[in-house]
Amino acid sequence: MNLFARITSVALLSAAMLGIGAASATELTFYYPIAVGGPITKVIDGYAEGFHRVHPDITIKPVYTGSYQDSIVKAMTAAKSGNPPDVAVLLSTDMFTLIDDDLIEPYETIATSDADKAWIKSFYPAFMENSQSGGHTWGIPFQRSTIVQYWNKDAFKAAGLDPETAPKTWDEMVATAKKLTKHDASGTVTQWGLEIPSSGFPYWLFQALATENGAILANPEGTKVAYNDPKVVEAANFFADLSRKDEVMPKGIIEWGTTPKDFFEGKTAMMWTTTGNLTNVKANAKFAFGVAPLPSKARGGSPTGGGNIYIFKTDDKAKIAAALEFARFLSSPELAADWGIATGYVATRPDAWETAAMKKYVAEFPAAAVARDQLKDAVAELSTHDNQRVTKALNDALQAVLTGTKQAKPALDDAQAEADRILASYKH
């Protein structure tokens, strides 16, 4: 561990793979969701090899499992067939599903030393809201995020706007987006003012709007949702009005995966997306850009997002011990800092921001600290028992509202009824 704490170069770690061939006493299968962009497999392979250098008796075998949705299905299928992963990075919101199927080990049962207990307490509280339940810690924050707004400073300048200032309220965002929306001679839009994606994780982007309007979508126990709260309905109408009334955003469904590309190509001047896209934007934007917290209405804020490290149950005590050591390694201050620099995800613990590498990075690239600073206003990402079906009810409602097939109130009433039906058996 101490050896690796001095190794902050992923390239150096990857090079260390050469010449390693000794057999190990314990092999861990590590499921990792790769649908997050960038050369991440090289980074993860480097971490696995760096861990092996420090622990020669343990080999980490990364298995790249596709999207988060694919990954939870694959992990649960493997577990039910008797061959679970030993460690997996899955959505923090998968916590209740994994608990209900009795697939994961609560950390307190295996992390019992004083050092272990201090480690569990070392993460930002906002990230632990989706990591703890029933008095136990089920996941350790790894690649965690908030939603932030990115803006094209050159486009702002061209529209006569202050290129150094992002909109701070909903009203400012709409007014700014109107000035940024450009048309050609035939009236066709050549540059949209704003894109908020509505595919992939529509509930997540929408949760930011609901939060800013003063609504909380689910209770901490994951047994109740508030999909048809009047504040949620109002947020859904605002989301739809950005395209149909204000005409600052494309109509219909905006693709999660292509929104950054639209930003790079000048098709949109502002976008909302994960801070996990920060390194991608830094590498590919050919113009000056800014990063800011999301605009506020009743309040500011964003849901947290991203993945936690889960340890799957097994009778093999050596594997459990090795998995715990690997989880501690991946979430150490040095690795948390390195991962944040490599990807744009938020380094998950305050002491990671005190490392020399992170201090240097933030000094050179202050935008890296925006998502961290937004944590003070962050809320837990929507998460319930039977989470996939409960969030699908909201996603379906949002799709209906955004495509104009249903009005917001009846769509969200239907989503509420469906969620209540699914969650009925979990209420005590």
What does the domain layout of the chain look like in residue ranges? Answer: 2-145+305-377, 146-303+383-426
**pLDDT at res. 428:** 66
| In the chain, % of residues over pLDDT 90 | 89
Look over the chain and give the mean of its residue pLDDT values, rounded to a whole number. 92
Q: What would the pLDDT profile of 155-164 be if each residue is shown by its tens digit?
A: 999 999 999 9
- Please give the pLDDT value at position 354: 97
Work out the pLDDT band at 41, boundaries 50, 70, 90: confident
Q: What is the pLDDT of residue 10?
A: 36
pLDDT surpassing 90 at residue 39: no
- Give me the pLDDT at residue 157, please: 98
- For residue 371, what are its two tokens? 């998502």
Q: Quick one: pLDDT band at residue 40, thresholds 50, 70, 90? A: confident
Mean pLDDT score, 214-225: 96
Residue 23, pLDDT above cutoff 80: no
Q: What average pLDDT does the segment 101-128 reach?
A: 96
For 146-303+383-426, give the CATH class: alpha beta
> How high is the pLDDT of residue 316?
95
Homologous superfamily of 2-145+305-377 in CATH?
Periplasmic binding protein-like II (3.40.190.10)
- Confidence band of 35 (pLDDT split at 50, 70, 90): low
What pLDDT shows up at residue 8?
37
Average pLDDT of span 90-113: 96
pLDDT at 200: 85
- Is the fold of 2-145+305-377 the same as that of 146-303+383-426? yes
Q: Which residues contact 57 (CB under 8 A, 6 or more apart)?
A: 24, 25, 26
Is the pLDDT assigned to residue 12 strictly greater than 60? no
Q: Do 23 and 56 meet the contact criterion of CB atoms below 8 Å apart?
A: no
- CA–centroid distance for 144 within its chain: 5
Full 3-state SS string of the chain: CHHHHCCCCHHHHHHCCCCCCCCCCEEEEEEECCCCCCCHHHHHHHHHHHHHHHCCCEEEEEEECCCHHHHHHHHHHHHHCCCCCCEEEEEHHHHHHHHHCCCECCHHHCCCCHHHHHHHCCCCHHHHCCCEECCEECCEEEEEEEEEEEEEHHHHHHCCCCCCCCCCEHHHHHHHHHHHCEECCCCCEEEECCECCCCCCHHHHHHHHHHHCCCCCECCCCCCECCCCHHHHHHHHHHHHHHHCCCCCCCCCCCCCCHHHHHHCCCECEEEEEHHHHHHHHHHCCCCEEEECCCECCCCCCEEEEEEEEEECCCCHHHHHHHHHHHHHHCCHHHHHHHHHHHCCECCCHHHHHCHHHHHHHHHCHHHHHHHHHHHHCECCCCCCCHHHHHHHHHHHHHHHHHCCCCHHHHHHHHHHHHHHHHHHHCC
The C-alpha atoms of residue 290 and residue 304 are separated, in whole angstroms, by 20
Q: What is the pLDDT of residues 329-384, one digit of tens each?
A: 999 999 999 999 998 999 999 999 999 999 999 999 999 999 999 999 999 999 99
Average pLDDT over residues 264-286: 95
